[in-house]
Amino acid sequence: MEQYVTVGENNIYVSIKGEGPPIVLIHGTASYHFCWRNIVATLSENYSVYALDLLGYGESDKPVNACYSKEAHAQRVIEVLRKLNLSSVHLIGHSMGGEVSVHVALKAPELVEDLTLIAPDGFRKGVHSFTKYIAKRGLLNGMFKGMLRRPPKPKMMSRMLGLPIETLTPDLLAGWTKPYSDPNMPYIITKTLADDDTGVISSKVCQLSLRVLLIYGTNDKLVPQHVFRAYEKELPNISVEKYEGFGHVLMEECPEKLTESILRFI
């Protein structure tokens, strides 16, 4: 089942599968609901699984002048949950989506039963002030247009996904590179840099009293290990699972292992 939820002037896409207590999935940067496909089938056997596309990604609207900070994404997620009459959700976020999920839990704790953070970003300095300055003036649009004229090469996708290049089928590559083909994506990337608020949760996460599961790979090349250690130190009610030798996109590298961890926790 698919549904669009109107938030302000924009439509947010939600994929819904299964029946039972609600699980809500929040993807990371340059991703969309596709990234969860390997774990949704199992999760939806006993749960209602809602996979959202954040504004600017996947099947959701892609306005170039919206605010793309993590806090703004979180506020839109909260509005989606309320319009769908969801509460006590098992909230799961990957990478940037992990940081967005923390914002959601801080802003609307009454909506969240527990929190699973998969390789979450945060707890580090965000975009450099000069980069934000030129991004706000649109001076990076041309550069990103040039970079996105062609989809990322298989070698790059192999490194990003943590998968051997020979296992990257055409369908897999097409799915993961789809966001890069949208004509608005260069502008959305620029606006995301301009609106960056990475790390603003650092002083707030200690306020979270709900149960949190942190899952990360010890070979993550995209989010530094010190970020995960900071979450482990600052969150008062946290369980941690380290996946030795695994990287950033655990939904691709080890979906069965990841699903088992999630189901044990929730």
Q: Are 163 and 252 in contact (CB under 8 A)?
A: yes
79-88 mean pLDDT:
98
Instruction: Tell which wins on pLDDT, 126 or 14.
Output: 14
Specify the pairing of strand 2-7 against strand 10-17.
Answer: antiparallel
Residues in the chain: 266
pLDDT digits (tens, 9 = 90+) for 130-173: 988 898 888 888 888 888 888 788 888 888 888 889 889 999 99
Q: How far is CA 24 from CA 153, 159, 194, 205, 261, in A?
A: 31, 27, 27, 20, 16
pLDDT digits (tens, 9 = 90+) for 9-54: 999 999 999 999 999 999 999 899 999 999 999 999 999 999 999 9
What percent of the chain has a predicted confidence (pLDDT) above 70?
Answer: 100
Sheet holding 22-26, edge to edge: 2-7, 10-17, 48-52, 22-26, 89-94, 112-118, 211-217, 238-243
List the single range of 12-21, 193-202, 239-248 with lowest mean pLDDT.
193-202
pLDDT band at residue 125 under the 50/70/90 scheme: confident
Supply the pLDDT for residue 66.
97
Q: Are 122 and 99 in contact (CB under 8 A)?
A: yes
DSSP the chain: -EEEEEETTEEEEEEEE--SSEEEEE--TT--GGGGHHHHHHHTTTSEEEEEPPTTSTTS---TTS--SHHHHHHHHHHHHHHTT--SEEEEEETHHHHHHHHHHHH-GGGEEEEEEES---SS--S-HHHHHHHHTTTTHHHHHHHTSSPPPHHHHHHHHT--GGG--HHHHHHHHGGGGSTTHHHHHHHHHHT--TTTTTTTGGG--SEEEEEEETT-SSS-HHHHHHHHHH-TTEEEEEETT--S-HHHH-HHHHHHHHHHH-
Supply the pLDDT for residue 232.
96
Amino acid symbol at 162: G
> What count of other Cβ atoms lies within 10 Å of the Cβ of residue 170?
8
Supply the pLDDT for residue 49.
99
Supply the pLDDT for residue 6.
98
Q: Are 154 and 144 in contact (CB under 8 A)?
A: no
pTM: 0.95
Supply the pLDDT for residue 127.
86
Closest CA to 24 of 49, 5, 60, 6: 49
Homologous superfamily (CATH) of 2-126+199-265 is Alpha/Beta hydrolase fold, catalytic domain (3.40.50.1820)
Judged against a pLDDT cut of 90, whether residue 85 lies above it is answered with yes
Judged against a pLDDT cut of 90, whether residue 237 lies above it is answered with yes
Supply the pLDDT for residue 266.
97
Supply the pLDDT for residue 13.
99
Supply the pLDDT for residue 252.
95
pLDDT digits (tens, 9 = 90+) for 89-124: 999 999 999 999 999 999 999 999 999 999 999 988
Q: Mean pLDDT score of the chain, rounded to an integer?
A: 94
